[in-house]
Amino acid sequence: MNINLHKSSRQILFLICSLLGASIFLLIYGPNIINVSNDSWLLSGGDISQHYLGWRFYRLSGWNFPIGLIDGLCYPNKVSIIYTDSIPIFAIIFKLLSPFLPNTFQYFGLWGLLCFILQGGFSALILLKISENKSLCIIFSCFFILSTTMINRMYMHTSLAAHWVILAGICVWLYNDIFNTFHRKVIIWSTILALCPFIHIYFTPMIFIIMCGDLLLYSLEHKKIKESICIILLSLTTLFVGMFLLGAFYGNGSAGSEGLGYYSANINSLINPLGTSHYLRDLPMATGGQYEGYAYLGLGVIILLFICIHIYTENINLSRNNLPLAIRQIIKSNYKRYLPVILVCLAFYMLALSPVITYNTHVLFEIHYPTFINKVLSIFRTSGRFLWAIAYLIMILIFFTINKFSKKSSAIFICSICLIIQVSDLSDTLQQKHKYFTYEILEHEINNSTTWNYLMSNHSYVIFVFESVYTKENSNKVFYISNIAADYNNNLNNFYISRPDSDAIAENLNSIITDLQQGQGKQENIYIFEDFFDIWKKGYSLNYYQLDDCIIGIPEEIPMNKLEGAKRLNADENKIDITPLNNEYLTNGTDTENTRILYPNGISYGPYISLDSGAYRIKVQGLNLQKCDFDIYSNTNDEYIYFDIVDHSDNEVYVQIDLDSRIDNLEFRIHNNTENDITINQMQLYVISEDFDD
């Protein structure tokens, strides 16, 4: 329904609903997080810490070309701010203003406020295009402002909470009477499409699909096929220029990644609350990654949807017998407008569900795309997010139906009651967020210890000697130390980013490790290890310290007056030699001066020691160990002890045991079930302790 409204009416309603969005944001999150000098809530770990620290290092970097590159996160390599999800458009703006900003400055609270404001504003424009009933528009805009998908993303994947971008695209499509010329369409679609990577790259395909829907309508109604193709090409050119300026194509990071189909939506996603409903129970999912397809409509919207189905049944008389005929008549009467909408909905829905179509835990079927299409889709492997647009299109259809087939007073009453139900349904989630962001966030303890000051002031390069920075424990260490390093403008060798140039990062780390193995640790480096066992295993010529649950190695000793809160570590302190000697605890083998040889079918056992509860690792060095069998047995308890094999090669075996209680008469048995001799040179028991003060 097209209604020509005065420009001032749109502006007033946009302002009212924007203020409504701001008010709801403050009610949920409180005012503390919009304090630009308050960064305590951003340093508790997880993705929000990645976003904030990406901004911190971008601010510290010199200006590069492309302008979106960060110097110090994966030094000597550069990375794009796109891959830290630090909201590039805000990062660039505030980097330009950096000389005038306080040392501690965060914009993520302001970004959340802006998202709620624009969510309200653009939803108002959409609703006002459908109805002259301004009261109804204001009431229904609350459903958009309280969007479960937006709230779910806010301060988890903060840039992805900009759902107003999707609404802006839909708004342009609806206002095709204003954006009705070639030049206007080029300008508006180029602007919105180019804006996407400056917010989050995942909005790009969503806006592209909506743009194609608008241009299909433009082509059908005005016979402007060539112009539409030109608009698409010009808009894509603007998009790629924007991506280039942000450094999206810099380096050799892989554009695609694994997970396509794992992070899809489930057919039940629109009605699956995943713990956010006060009334409805959660539904099962087919994969652990389908939380990415979260698009719960909310109980109030679901009730409205059923009311709409009833309205269509009553008003259009769609019985089972004449349903196909009725649908054909509706589409035939205005196919030029319905066809683009139907195709856009199908595109979003199939992308969200595919390539593995699931319902609850059941895989219904799989779509086998050509290799080229799979590679393109793998760029946006988290395909479940495409369901967000479907949720908004359903809400728009509901509003259209309620407005068209209900009296003004009835429509207001129905939507008001369902809004109350919607708020009640989401009340637990909203209260939890309010409590967390208003009361539970404690002031982050900025570590200004003398030891950290000494380390960061006398060194310039922080090396994470980690197998991976992407585990939860390691990523939190990375975030914690990176924040301290940023205070001193120090570089890092690695960071938690998406689409990393893994080969370049690994090549740099391997070069650093080679230097360590040759006893050539560099004076400017601080080496951070995963745990104490790591330094014991590798035996680098460094001085080791434990500080804030971090294991640190540096070439020099820290002066005693600088060891505030730190403890000097000795790689041999927690190590017990349990190497068997003198042919003791041996069957079918022999001991030489420094070696135990196990003949085929030979067994080495013992030494019958007692261990208190705790975690331990055993290291065995020798030859032909790859095929030996290993077990741990308690003679007192008459039971085998469960263990994990940490590493197993021909020359070394590492196993770990975790004891809940004291175990006596413990023996470590090695069985030679091969046809060749096995050599044991050394066996060591290492006591793992998270608290070295114990």
Q: For every residue of 457-497, which 3-state class applies, written as one string?
A: HHCCEEEEECCCCCCHHHHHHHHHHHHHHHHCCCEECCCCC
Got the DSSP string for 623-650? ESGGG-EEEEEETTTTEEPP-EEEEE-S
In whole angstroms, how far apart are CA 331 and each of 314, 339, 340, 342?
A: 19, 8, 11, 10
pLDDT at 617: 85
Three-state DSSP at 211 gives helix
Three-state DSSP at 247 gives coil
Nearest to 70 by CA among 507, 522, 494: 494
Q: List the single range of 198-212, 315-329, 437-451, 651-665 with lowest mean pLDDT.
A: 315-329
Structure tokens at 162: 């900009």
- For residue 306, count other CB atoms closer than 10 A to its CB: 9
Identify which has the larger pLDDT, 314 or 384. 384
* Residue 293 to residue 264: CA distance in whole angstroms: 6
pLDDT at 325: 60
> Residue 572 pLDDT > 80, yes or no?
no
In whole angstroms, how far apart are CA 311 and each of 108, 143, 401?
A: 43, 20, 8
Q: List the single range of 60-69, 295-304, 354-363, 629-638 with lowest mean pLDDT.
A: 629-638
Q: Mean pLDDT across the stretch 3-26? A: 87
Q: Mean pLDDT across the stretch 609-616? A: 84
pLDDT at 602: 92
- Sign of the dihedral through C-alpha 247, 248, 249, 255: positive
Q: What is the 3-state secondary structure (H, E, C) of 359-394?
A: ECCEEEEECCCCHHHHHHHHHCCCHHHHHHHHHHHH
Cα end-to-end distance, the chain, whole Å = 74
* Residue 310 to residue 306: CA distance in whole angstroms: 6
Q: Mean pLDDT across the stretch 553-569? A: 88
Q: Mean pLDDT across the stretch 400-418? A: 94
pLDDT at 256: 61
pLDDT at 530: 84
pLDDT at 321: 53
**Predicted confidence band of residue 278 (pLDDT cuts 50, 70, 90):** very high
pLDDT at 3: 46
pLDDT at 1: 42
φ, ψ (nearest 5 deg) of residue 418: -70, -30
pLDDT at 2: 46
252 contacts 370 by C-beta, under 8 angstroms: no
* Percentage, residues of the chain above pLDDT 70: 92
Summary mean pLDDT of the chain: 90
Structure tokens at 310: 């009833």
Nearest to 72 by CA among 454, 481, 475: 481
666 contacts 633 by C-beta, under 8 angstroms: yes
pLDDT at 635: 85
Q: List the single range of 136-140, 163-167, 315-319, 343-347 with lowest mean pLDDT.
A: 315-319
Structure tokens at 157: 């994947």
What is the chain's Cα-based Rg?
31
* Residue 404 to residue 524: CA distance in whole angstroms: 71
Q: List the single range of 268-277, 354-363, 374-383, 685-694 with lowest mean pLDDT.
A: 685-694
Got the DSSP string for 91-111? HHHHHHTGGGS-SS---HHHH
> Residue 445 pLDDT > 60, yes or no?
no
In whole angstroms, how far apart are CA 472 and each of 16, 131, 278, 478, 531?
A: 42, 49, 30, 10, 14
Q: Mean pLDDT across the stretch 89-110? A: 97
Q: Where in the chain is the domain with CATH 2.60.120.380?
A: 575-688
pLDDT at 301: 98
Nearest to 534 by CA among 455, 465, 470, 472: 465
Beta strands 629-634; 663-671: pairing state: antiparallel
**Predicted confidence band of residue 580 (pLDDT cuts 50, 70, 90):** confident
* Percentage, residues of the chain above pLDDT 90: 65
Q: Mean pLDDT across the stretch 597-616? A: 88
In whole angstroms, how far apart are CA 519 and each of 76, 553, 652?
A: 22, 13, 22
Q: Mean pLDDT across the stretch 108-129? A: 97
Q: Mean pLDDT across the stretch 54-58? A: 98
Q: Mean pLDDT across the stretch 49-59? A: 97
Find residue 359's DSSP bridge partners: 362
**Class of 575-688 per CATH?**
mainly beta
pLDDT at 207: 98
Q: Mean pLDDT across the stretch 455-479? A: 92
* Residue 58 to residue 71: CA distance in whole angstroms: 7
> Residue 398 pLDDT > 50, yes or no?
yes
* Residue 375 to residue 353: CA distance in whole angstroms: 17
Q: List the single range of 152-156, 301-305, 462-466, 689-693 with lowest mean pLDDT.
A: 689-693
* Residue 595 to residue 186: CA distance in whole angstroms: 79
**Predicted confidence band of residue 317 (pLDDT cuts 50, 70, 90):** low
Helix crossing, 387-405 with 108-130: angle to 10°? 40
> Residue 447 pLDDT > 70, yes or no?
no
Find residue 577's DSSP bridge partners: 684
